Amino acid sequence: MNELIPNLETDGLEPAKGLFRERWDILKRNRMAYASYWFLISMFGLAILGKVLTQTVVMFDPKVVRLSEKFLPPLTPFTSTLTPEEDSPALGVYLLGTDELGRDVFARMLEGTFVSLTVGFVAVGISLTVGIFIGGLAGFYGRVKLGFITVDTLLMRFVDIILCFPTFFLILTVVALLPPSIYNIMIVIGLTSWMGTARFVRAEFLSLRDQDFVVAARSQAIPEWRIIFIHMVPNAIAPVLVSATIGVATAILTESALSFLGFGVQPPDATWGNILADGKTFLFDAPWLTFIPGFTILFVVLAFNLCGEGLREAFNPKLRSTP
């Protein structure tokens, strides 16, 4: 027995690359997805940097109002004599211009980066949690009978009911009726987008629950919550995470659409969505107020979509173009 084990290793039975390593290499071959990935990473860095800078450094304070400095185009140097020196923007230049209250658009965009990405990620986090919970319940305890219907029927009919609501209309109803707050928006977007995840997880669980490793775990009397969360969820999670990438993109777009109707994140908090929605009033006088947030949203959402699609291809061998 002792002699066998080193033999196994020298026979090269270990996979040459781990699963994630292999998938990663496939992703790298898709140049657009790989570029988007790095773009997003730098965006996260920028978001955290922006959060720190806007909170601590006065030069980056997005809330400073300079009424004498309204509607300055991008790259205008700070020359005003009316505004106190300590209110001057970073580097003495309005990198992205100023808005209708003379606030530095660059500082607002920096702040908005953090808020927008947070809205996207928290909303998706909520939708994943609910989706995995409901889907896992329906998949794992699907055969358990409650009275005359099974758990699976009950939960999946519930999902069907929620799917029948027009999502954006539902979000609008709830957001308009609730007091406006950034948390409500994240929660509402999250709670109206979990249905896809639930269906996905259920389908994965249905195929997983009779597989040998689950049966083995059951035979060892491992508690059921451990089987579900430690043994089964990691096996079902990869495709779910891939669609979550695209979910973040959708959440950012939904937030900007809500902002457009006036129900988004409220001032003084800045998000890309509400900078864009505020800027549209001054489209002719100050086009940069529309174009800068508009194109930022476009690029970031595009990067999320391309990255998600690249991941999907990497994790689903059927979709790959070159084997």
Question: Binding other proteins by CB under 8 A: which of 17, 21, 28, 157?
Answer: 157
Contact between 302 and other proteins by CB under 8 A: the answer reads yes
Question: Binding other proteins by CB under 8 A: which of 301, 311, 313, 314?
Answer: 301
Q: Which residue has the tokens 């928006």?
A: 185
**179 vs 110, 184, 251, CA distance in Å?**
26, 8, 20
Q: Binding segment for other proteins among 102-110, 118-126, 200-208, 299-307 (CB under 8 A)?
A: 299-307
Which of 309, 282, 306 is CA-nearest to residue 293?
282
Q: What does the per-residue mask of binding to other proteins show for 162-201, with x meaning CB under 8 A?
A: -xxxxxxxx-xxx-xxxx----------------------
Smallest distance from other proteins to CB 43, Å:
14
Contact between 153 and other proteins by CB under 8 A: the answer reads no
CA atoms within 13 A on the CB side of 169: 5
Neighbours of 36 (CB within 10 A): 24
Q: What does the per-residue mask of binding to other proteins show for 17-56, with x meaning CB under 8 A?
A: ---------------x------------------------
End-to-end CA separation in angstroms for the chain: 39
Residue 137, Cβ density class (10 Å: 0-12 exposed, 13-18 middle, ≥19 buried): buried
Contact between 256 and other proteins by CB under 8 A: the answer reads yes
The identity of residue 213, as a single letter, is: F
CA distance 3 to 8: 9
Smallest distance from other proteins to CB 244, Å:
16
Residues that bind other proteins (CB under 8 A): 32, 157, 160-161, 163-170, 172-174, 176-179, 249, 253, 256-257, 260-261, 273, 276-277, 280, 283, 290, 294, 297-299, 301-302, 304-306, 309, 319, 321
